[in-house]
Structure 1
């Protein structure tokens, strides 16, 4: 019998629908996989006690002839930044250790309503601040390709859970690349939707103008299926778009079977020179472009002169918004409280935040508070917002000439755990290609592009499209995925040497 955990979400859904596999069987298989490998991977912070009960109810409803969604009975991992009523929601921080939310995040409630089975909450950098999942208060997650390497961040737990076949699907959040960069280093698929296309209600806020919830998967079609479930307008989110969205799964199917690449104009940014990237990343990126060009795509050099300032602008805007959003963790309303005998409320607050926040969170709160302080607001935060506008204009100009923009999803393959933890600048530069999409609010997708020659680790290629054109990314992503998988002779994860596939 085929290993259930190796099935794509789409294939598993088909098995469930036909009755070949029950949701209880599928859920138990993934729970067994978690028990077998998560001691090494540490993708999960909490595994659900109710998953098998939820799965049994889906099986009962299916047997009764109830109308069920396309993904009903498929297991799902949930990034711990998304609040849940039946599992702790910590955002990777000690200050929220054991916190139980009185409500579900909108994307979680939609997943439940669609019949997906929550497996547990995945590890992450504390409050989504990081590119390696080393800043989790509960210890780092390990990359299934090499357990001594990082799985990306902040959503390394979700990406590793999917890459290690612990879950077929996961939910993530992307503030500056936290879905796409982990996808790059784990050989998975990650999508940052258009800002406002997926509700942020119930996502513990880092930077409200940048945060976006999205899907993590092993195939583009699977991402589209999950996106169809979680997307759409939400009255609880004031930034939610009221658009009527097409089916992203249908767009992925069209891309996989159609001639989508013929005549497609693909922009390559002149200001992102190869010298800034690991050679193996550049080689895989160029090879993917060549494969697209061989099938009729037109590669167009474009200019985005302000992209090089994206990281600097982002690390003023994000800390400023984070310092405001994290002010709510004050020891008074919820979360950790450190008692100070005879102390004032301010003393308790200071002691709690000192004990509850990690070094990276403290660093960004200090930076953000400084950037927003009197006398510096215009010089720092105000200037960064002006750069943001210039980056948005770069995108608008580029999309007048091209249909999508292509970049490497990150500058390097997965680096060793501990290698950059004490060098914040090098850590921040991991998001150089992903940050501009968050600043502009446009959608992005990272799909596997191959393995780097020098270390045999995964490399991703990122595609960006105009705002609201998420379906275009699914068509292009699925078309490129189909071409590359044929080139490799099978999915990239089948070649993972540690937990994923061949040894």
Structure 2
């Protein structure tokens, strides 16, 4: 009987290969076929890498034939955000500036996923240099939301989220600087996790904001995300990243533990914030009631300085982006404008024509914020706000185990609907503060909104390096969502799985 890649979890793929039900090569061909059949509509990928995927599949099949124990993600198709280096691919950051850049090394996070047995299907589209919340700023093409092709998938990791939501791959990697994993996960109806800052190595990931960036996984279930986290932290501290920390835990170990007697923080003021739609509010309230029904206690907490989070982020982020992107000048790295009379002219024109509008906007803002007289007024104030926000979270976690809030104020919006950059920035209203504080956060799908018919979700955020606990609560939310949708809560699948227009189209083996 033919199997569909859509219906298999990461562990089911690995177990099927171990049992001899199918081969990793068959899975690789199924994933590549799914991309061929579906990506013309979704446009999740900037580059597909069949040679790499098939070579990785052969290594898995050869290991099985030799009687070796297979790694935990053996044969699982993977998409990689295109700001992560992988030898054998281009790493463009969805920018003309790096349009022809060939990776000369592989990022640690990607290497660890490959060591765990994943099959690298391709590089996923993104907002240029991760500047955006909709994947509209990609220099090459937009990515469409699999639930409605006229709507955005979120960003900046929109290609990664869409590749999982459309069933083209089982897992994907994204990066999250202000919500760029959790927000697209919410809009595409998949699980997306931003681990605690430092839990996953950033070596080999093109930097946006070095004190804010964190790599994390997308999957169609909390268990799949937990398995991906195990792979990402395997090997412990990465000496190539000074901020990398040892996380010697098994993220699946307590996944099915109950939450009875545990405390979940809720913030009433956030649930009344301007721009939060009724259907998202209702869905998050339903998740809170589900946790209460499973024995958790809901406790009101306050984050008094949260209003400063967006302002602080749009000072800190652009300043760090200005510093990190200075190397792309057409001389050291990046697009080089031809036929220039002087080195200065070449650098100026290369940057002017190599970067898109949002990348220019953020770098110019960062340059101004770091200038004499302005630095003291804004940058130092933003750092003080960061300290206050971090203290607010720490105080809240003295009372509760996790905090429940929306991941995004609304469901997926139409392309071009948020043309004002400041409106777009507010899409990250509920996610930015977690990057500022450095804590972990995970977005869990809840079902389809009654009005829009589009995915809704909730976000759980927890104390630093308590990400395993965070996933226990995420699994509890997932169970509640599955039960509300009339699905088997023990199966470990989300309430949504693959967008219906793409389920079953290609990807069979």
Which bracket does the TM-score occupy, shorter chain normalised?
Answer: over 0.9
Partner of 1:155: 157
Partner of 1:434: 431
Partner of 1:185: 187
Partner of 2:280: 281
For residues 299 and 22 of structure 1, what CA distance do their matches in structure 2 show? 47
Could you list the runs of 5+ residues in structure 2 that have no partner in the other structure?
488-493
* 1:236 aligned to which of 227, 235, 240: 240
* 1:84 aligned to which of 83, 86, 99: 86
For residues 272 and 18 of structure 2, what CA distance do their matches in structure 1 show? 47
> 1:192-229: per-residue Cα shift (whole Å, max 9, x none)?
01100000000100000000001110001100111111
Contact 1:144 1:500 in 2 (8 A): no
The structural deviation recorded for 1:11 is: 1.6
> 1:70-125: per-residue Cα shift (whole Å, max 9, x none)?
11121111000101111100011110002112110001111222221100000000
Over the aligned positions, Cα root-mean-square deviation in angstroms equals 1.4
- The secondary structure found in structure 1 opposite 2:200 is coil
- The secondary structure found in structure 2 opposite 1:118 is strand
- The secondary structure found in structure 2 opposite 1:425 is helix
- The secondary structure found in structure 2 opposite 1:492 is coil
Cα 1:335–1:462, aligned 2, differ >3 Å: closer, same or farther? same
The structural deviation recorded for 1:249 is: 2.2
Do residues 333 (structure 1) and 332 (structure 2) align? Answer: yes
- The secondary structure found in structure 2 opposite 1:478 is helix
* 2:481 aligned to which of 479, 484, 492: 484
Range with greater deviation from structure 2 (277-286 or 263-272):
263-272
For residues 69 and 355 of structure 2, what CA distance do their matches in structure 1 show? 46
For residues 159 and 483 of structure 1, what CA distance do their matches in structure 2 show? 22
For residues 246 and 377 of structure 1, what CA distance do their matches in structure 2 show? 41
Partner of 1:28: 29
> 1:146-177: per-residue Cα shift (whole Å, max 9, x none)?
00000010000000000000000001100000
For residues 176 and 500 of structure 1, what CA distance do their matches in structure 2 show? 31
The structural deviation recorded for 1:62 is: 1.0
Cα 1:494–1:270, aligned 2, differ >3 Å: closer, same or farther? closer
The structural deviation recorded for 1:13 is: 1.6
- Larger RCO: Structure 1 or Structure 2 (Cα < 8 Å, ≥ 6 residues apart)? 2
Partner of 1:265: 263
> 1:17-40: per-residue Cα shift (whole Å, max 9, x none)?
211121011111110010001001
The structural deviation recorded for 1:358 is: 0.4
Contact 1:222 1:249 in 2 (8 A): no
> 1:345-373: per-residue Cα shift (whole Å, max 9, x none)?
11101100111100000000011111110
The structural deviation recorded for 1:335 is: 2.1
The structural deviation recorded for 1:244 is: 4.0
| Paired residues, number | 494
Do residues 101 (structure 1) and 98 (structure 2) align? Answer: no
Cα 1:354–1:495, aligned 2, differ >3 Å: closer, same or farther? closer
Contact 2:199 2:247 in 1 (8 A): no
The structural deviation recorded for 1:49 is: 3.2
Provide TM-score, normalisation by structure 2.
Answer: 0.95
For residues 432 and 320 of structure 2, what CA distance do their matches in structure 1 show? 15
For residues 501 and 68 of structure 1, what CA distance do their matches in structure 2 show? 28
> 1:19-68: per-residue Cα shift (whole Å, max 9, x none)?
11210111111100100010010000000031112212210111111232
Contact 1:495 1:501 in 2 (8 A): no
The structural deviation recorded for 1:472 is: 0.4
Contact 2:207 2:213 in 1 (8 A): yes
Partner of 2:50: 49
Cα 1:501–1:452, aligned 2, differ >3 Å: closer, same or farther? farther
Cα 1:471–1:302, aligned 2, differ >3 Å: closer, same or farther? same
For residues 356 and 483 of structure 1, what CA distance do their matches in structure 2 show? 47
Contact 2:161 2:185 in 1 (8 A): yes
Partner of 1:39: 40
Contact 2:79 2:120 in 1 (8 A): yes
Q: How does 1:66-465 map to 2 (within 5 A)?
A: 66-231=68-233, 232-241=236-245, 243-252=246-255, 255=256, 258=257, 260-276=258-274, 277-342=276-341, 344-420=342-418, 422-465=419-462
The structural deviation recorded for 1:275 is: 4.5
The structural deviation recorded for 1:500 is: 4.2
The structural deviation recorded for 1:139 is: 1.2
For residues 145 and 75 of structure 1, what CA distance do their matches in structure 2 show? 21
Contact 2:448 2:456 in 1 (8 A): yes
Query: 4+ residue runs of structure 1 moved beyond 4 angstroms?
Result: none
Cα 1:65–1:30, aligned 2, differ >3 Å: closer, same or farther? same
For residues 341 and 465 of structure 1, what CA distance do their matches in structure 2 show? 52
For residues 370 and 239 of structure 2, what CA distance do their matches in structure 1 show? 30
Could you list the runs of 5+ residues in structure 1 that have no partner in the other structure?
none
For residues 464 and 489 of structure 1, what CA distance do their matches in structure 2 show? 27
